[in-house]
């Protein structure tokens, strides 16, 4: 079957670095995406990895290892506004399959 | 207007009612999606339309009926829903149904009495 595993919640302090891991098991694989969703809001696209390695976009970076079926989202210089849910998603034969989401709480 | 707009934002209906959710995108995208988001569960893909043609029905019960009259508009017609259908229904669009990022609307919060 298809499954994505990510931690349900993570807590960190302002200015810190946090890593949210995602492992996946799918019959097909075309890439790993990350989305952010603030409470009551729309999910917004953060990053996409189709190949192994690290992609950096400002304070956020995303990593993929296809051989390990594993990726992570790295958030640096955490700010209070980063408190949100973060979803990894895998494209599996044309469908986007989402993980259950990681609720990140940033404390002062 | 820009982005993906969903109406209504909130909907309360009885199990015997018929209602419709509307989604409109002003991004020039060709693919549109319906997702269901229940508490403590992952987003579940329901339907995919690409160039107005339905390309994915993820085993959705027939009480949910999608309609895509053009690439900018997507509807979800609801009838005879069950209490477990209470959820946030999200619409999204992307350039096509490949690897492009999906842009989501704010969703319709649906409550079934």
Chain B residues in contact with chain A using a Cβ-Cβ cutoff of 8 Å = 4, 40-45, 48, 55-56, 58, 90, 92, 97, 99, 101-107
Span A66-102, pLDDT tens digits: 999 999 999 999 999 999 999 999 987 777 889 999 9
Is it true that the peptide bond before A69 is cis, omega within 30 degrees of 0? no
Cβ-defined contact of A45 to B102 (cutoff 8 Å): yes
| Best A1, A57, A96 residue to mutate vs chain B (most B CBs within 10 Å) | A96
Cα-Cα-Cα-Cα dihedral sign, residues B108, A46, A100, A4: positive
Judge: B40–A100 Cβ closer than 8 Å, yes or no. yes
From chain A, the residues in CB contact with B58 under 8 A are 95
A98 to B105: CB separation less than 8 angstroms, yes or no: no
The secondary structure of A50-68 as a DSSP string is: SSSEEEEETTEEEEEETTT
pLDDT tens series, chain B, 113 aa: 569 999 999 999 998 889 999 999 999 999 999 999 998 788 999 999 999 999 888 899 999 999 999 999 999 999 999 999 999 999 999 998 887 899 999 999 999 99
Nearest to A8 by CA among B101, B64, B42, B112: B42
Q: Among A106, A100, A105, which Cα is nearest to A8's?
A: A100
pLDDT tens track for A4-58:
999 999 999 999 999 999 999 988 788 999 999 998 889 999 999 999 999 998 9
CA distance B34 to B46: 5
For residues A68 and A52, the answer to whether their CB atoms sit within 8 Å is no
Whose CA is closest to B100, among A94, A65, A100?
A94
Mention every residue, 6+ apart, whose C-beta is less than 8 A from residue B45: A95, A96, A97, B33, B34, B35, B56, B58
Backbone angles phi, psi at A17, to 5 degrees: -115, 135
Residue labelled with tokens 């339907």: B47
Pairwise CA distance, residues A59 & A76, whole Å: 5
């Amino acid at each position: 079957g298809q499954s994505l595993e990510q931690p349900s919640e993570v807590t960190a302090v302002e200015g810190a670095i946090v890593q949210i891991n995602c492992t996946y098991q799918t019959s097909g694989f075309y890439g790993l995406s990350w989305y952010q969703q603030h409470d009551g809001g729309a999910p917004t696209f953060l990053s996409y990895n189709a190949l192994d390695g690290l992609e950096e976009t400002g304070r956020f970076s995303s990593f993929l290892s296809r051989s390990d079926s594993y990726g992570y989202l790295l958030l640096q210089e955490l700010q209070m506004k980063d408190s949100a849910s973060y979803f990894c998603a895998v494209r599996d034969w044309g469908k986007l399959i989402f993980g259950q989401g990681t609720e990140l709480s940033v404390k002062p | 207007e820009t982005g993906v707009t969903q109406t209504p934002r909130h909907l309360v209906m009885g199990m015997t009612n018929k209602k419709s959710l509307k989604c409109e995108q002003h991004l020039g995208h060709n693919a549109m999606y319906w997702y269901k988001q229940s508490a403590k569960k992952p987003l579940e893909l329901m339907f995919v339309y690409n160039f107005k043609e339905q390309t994915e029905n993820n085993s959705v019960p027939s009480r949910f009926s999608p309609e895509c009259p053009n690439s900018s508009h997507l509807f979800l017609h609801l009838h005879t829903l069950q209490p477990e259908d209470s959820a946030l229904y999200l619409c999204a669009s992307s350039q096509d149904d490949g690897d492009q990022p999906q842009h989501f609307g704010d969703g319709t919060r649906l409550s079934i009495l």
